Chains A and B, each alone.
Chain A
Amino acid sequence: MQNQRFYGRKLLVLLLIVSLLLTGGCWDREELEELAYVLAMAIDYLPDEEKFEVTTAIIRPLNISGGEQGGGGDVEPFRLITTKGDTLSTALEQQNAFVARRMYFAHTEVVIIGENLARRGMHTVLDRFVRERDLRMSMQLFITSEDVKDVMRSGSKIEEGMPVFLTRWQERKDGQILAPVVDLRIFVKNLLSSGIDPVLPRLSIRTERPISPQETELAGKDSSEMVVYPKVLGTAVFKGDKLTGFLNDYETLGFLYVQEDIQHATVMIDDPLGNPGKLVVFILRNHAEVTVLQKEGAPAARIEVTVEGELC
């Protein structure tokens, strides 16, 4: 029948379209397990070799989530890979020699920048960061003066390693009076806006003997082995995209006051009534007002900080 042939043809066209979609399709498709998730990245510049050095921490999913089942064992939840290259991109390209899956940066939460690189200028890495489609803008940036490889390796016995330590560090709400919390978005924004220069938290390590027996056990059979702890303290200050220096913890506190960035933290102040001794105050809110004025021809700033808190 004419009618049925007509529908047959329609059906055929439909079938062709569907099969076309199926055969040629899936260009951007990637299965989850085909990816190697980079949780943290450490980048530095080696002035002697004039090369970039990149260390990535690639997560081993089975060891992270399987931890409760005891599947983790002695295997660390991360795999650290270090490569070198003339640019950041070529260094990253080198990593593929060691990884069977595609390096996936969309969930990279932490980037540690070495001091050498920061002093040389951040534009070389920022350019790559901003262009990279995968990278997320909420990545935490840290500056360290130590060897970035050592920093990456530290802390494996306390949290689930340095990257997790840093991720948790920026997520927590209280006690952040020791270093500013800056992610890529804020950094780039401050870099771009005129009149504001960016800052970053400073990351360092401390080597010490394990204190508690638990940690000793974790550290290994040899209880005399030293444990490396990460430590976030102080502020790295930039002019433009170049690192110019660091603020210590006291200066950082002052800086954070001005930035109105202090919350859920305790500070110690003199007793306003003049009694001997100090008062410890838990800060709830703070407000700062900056007025620029001229003092004997030179520009100066007047900063007024109002803090609301409760005694503790």
Chain B
Amino acid sequence: MTIEKINTWQATALLTMSIIPTAILFPPAVLAELAGRDAWLAFLLAGVLGLLLAGFIIILSSAYPEYNLLQIGEAVMGPFFGKMITLAYVFFFIIVSAIVVREFSAFMVSSFMQFTPLEILSGVIVTMAMYAIYLGLEVICRVSEIVFIVVMTSLLFFVVLSIPELDLRSILPVVDSGMQPVFNGSIVFFVWTGEIFFLSMLYPYLNRPAQAWQAAVITVSVVTIFMVISVFITESYFGFQLTSRILFPLLAYVRLIGIGFWERIEALVILIWVAGMYIKISFFIYMAVVAVKQLFGLSQYRPLILPMGSLVFILSVIMFENTIEISVFLRDVWPFFAPLYALIFPLLFYLTHLVKSLKS
């Protein structure tokens, strides 16, 4: 089998599409709750953290350009600890995939197809993702290129539509209640900007690894700028108190606007969003599959797709009782769990690598 190669632009599209689709769901409300008027600052801070993490990840990956993150881990930490950490990553990827699938179907049920069972929506999207994974990373990347363009164009469109409504007063005064709320908010959103560490899973496939930093910087900047703008929009429209009380503020905003005589376009917006979600879920399950392949040292990942898809599907259904639970989970639990994988383990790898290279 020939090794798959992706270019920088494809990596950018894939990474952006693996962050934005869920970032626009809960974070605006959660951060408005935590940081109030300064939510935009919290997003910005999280973006800066994401950029730092991206720089670090690229340094780590360029030390082992042939390896993805898990392979680096096993090479650096030795067989036993390496496998243990890979196992941890397997669980991480499975859980995060399940969360994303659940977020998708929860959103669809609450805003689009009220009577359709959650399981059907999850099942459909997971099946689609399984098909994409079966065809390989290269195909996921190629699809994400177009999805990226469509999603970003439509988002840009709505940003432009909102310009007359923007009100600077809604975010003033800045840092009224100290920096603590901002930090709290940025920790929550660091979960999303921290997902830039997936770049290390793509690194061996890049055809020009020297340009990896471009992909990382563009991705984090696009995500951050977009989130800053979107929270600005929702707070201009609703004020921060109301924003924090609406489950999906951006959807509420989209419902408020129309293009001339044509209203009720939120269905189209949701559809475009689903396309982004499809990329995200495909990529996440792909990484889970690759992690398992890595764990057991298999040569092929395709036989794992069906069991992994089923597992993620079942987990996504039983993991949460209701939509509010996801929101609470993402606010209270996940921010202290995800950085372990995004930051701590890679840091551990790098330190060990440094110690080892100093010794020799």
Specify which chain B residues have a CB less than 8 angstroms from the CB of A189 in the assembled complex.
237, 256
Cβ of A106 and Cβ of B116 under 8 Å apart? no
Specify which chain B residues have a CB less than 8 angstroms from the CB of A192 in the assembled complex.
237-239, 242
Q: Counting CB contacts under 8 A, is B264 at the interface?
A: yes
Q: Counting CB contacts under 8 A, is A274 at the interface?
A: no
- Per-residue interface assignment for chain A, residues 106 to 131, with 1 indicating a CB less than 8 Å from any chain B CB and 0 otherwise: 10000000000000000000000000
- Per-residue interface assignment for chain A, residues 25 to 61, with 1 indicating a CB less than 8 Å from any chain B CB and 0 otherwise: 0011000000000000000000000000000000000
* Other-chain residue from A106, A185, A188, A194 in contact with B264 (beta carbon distance below 8 A): A106
Alpha-carbon gap, A133 to B167, bound state (A): 27
Specify which chain A residues have a CB less than 8 angstroms from the CB of B113 in the assembled complex.
27-28
- Per-residue interface assignment for chain B, residues 262 to 276, with 1 indicating a CB less than 8 Å from any chain A CB and 0 otherwise: 011000000000000
Given contacts A133-B111, A192-B239, A192-B242, contact A138 B116 (CB under 8 A): no
* CB closest chain-A residue, reference B123: A20
- Per-residue interface assignment for chain B, residues 5 to 29, with 1 indicating a CB less than 8 Å from any chain A CB and 0 otherwise: 0000000000000000000000000
* Other-chain residue from B111, B116, B256 in contact with A137 (beta carbon distance below 8 A): B256
Q: Counting CB contacts under 8 A, is B114 at the interface?
A: yes
Q: Counting CB contacts under 8 A, is B115 at the interface?
A: yes
Alpha-carbon gap, A131 to B157, bound state (A): 25
* CB closest chain-B residue, reference A195: B169
Cβ of B116 and Cβ of A28 under 8 Å apart? yes
Cβ of A28 and Cβ of B256 under 8 Å apart? no
A interface size (C-beta, 8 A):
14
* Other-chain residue from A27, A133, A185, A193 in contact with B256 (beta carbon distance below 8 A): A185
- Per-residue interface assignment for chain B, residues 237 to 277, with 1 indicating a CB less than 8 Å from any chain A CB and 0 otherwise: 11100100000000000011010000110000000000000
| Chain B, range 298-352, C-beta contacts under 8 Å to A | none
* Other-chain residue from A27, A133, A138, A188 in contact with B263 (beta carbon distance below 8 A): A138
Q: Counting CB contacts under 8 A, is B354 at the interface?
A: no
Cβ of B117 and Cβ of A27 under 8 Å apart? yes
Cβ of A137 and Cβ of B238 under 8 Å apart? no
Specify which chain B residues have a CB less than 8 angstroms from the CB of A194 in the assembled complex.
239
Q: Counting CB contacts under 8 A, is B174 at the interface?
A: no
* Other-chain residue from B111, B114, B238 in contact with A28 (beta carbon distance below 8 A): B114
Alpha-carbon gap, A189 to B115, bound state (A): 30
Cβ of A133 and Cβ of B114 under 8 Å apart? yes
Q: From residue B341, how far is it (CB to closest CB) to chain A in Å? A: 35
Alpha-carbon gap, A193 to B238, bound state (A): 7
* CB closest chain-B residue, reference A136: B263
Q: Counting CB contacts under 8 A, is B120 at the interface?
A: yes
Q: From residue A16, how far is it (CB to closest CB) to chain B in Å? A: 12
* CB closest chain-A residue, reference B111: A133
Q: From residue A187, how far is it (CB to closest CB) to chain B in Å? A: 11
* CB closest chain-B residue, reference A107: B264
Alpha-carbon gap, A185 to B257, bound state (A): 8
Q: From residue A141, how far is it (CB to closest CB) to chain B in Å? A: 15
Q: From residue B158, how far is it (CB to closest CB) to chain A in Å? A: 15
Alpha-carbon gap, A192 to B115, bound state (A): 31
Alpha-carbon gap, A192 to B234, bound state (A): 12
Specify which chain A residues have a CB less than 8 angstroms from the CB of B255 in the assembled complex.
137
Alpha-carbon gap, A188 to B237, bound state (A): 10
Specify which chain A residues have a CB less than 8 angstroms from the CB of B120 in the assembled complex.
24, 27
- Residues of B that sit less than 8 Å from A by CB: 111, 113-117, 120, 167, 237-239, 242, 255-256, 258, 263-264
Q: List 24 A-B contacts (CB under 8 A).
A: A24-B120, A27-B113, A27-B115, A27-B116, A27-B120, A28-B113, A28-B114, A28-B116, A136-B263, A136-B264, A137-B255, A137-B256, A137-B258, A138-B258, A138-B263, A185-B256, A188-B256, A189-B256, A192-B238, A192-B239, A192-B242, A193-B167, A193-B239, A194-B239
Extra contacts, 4 of them, besides A27-B117, A137-B256 (Cβ < 8 A), are A28-B113, A138-B258, A185-B256, A192-B239
For the complex of A and B, the 6 pairs showing the least CB-CB separation, nearest first, are A27-B116, A27-B115, A28-B113, A28-B115, A185-B256, A28-B116
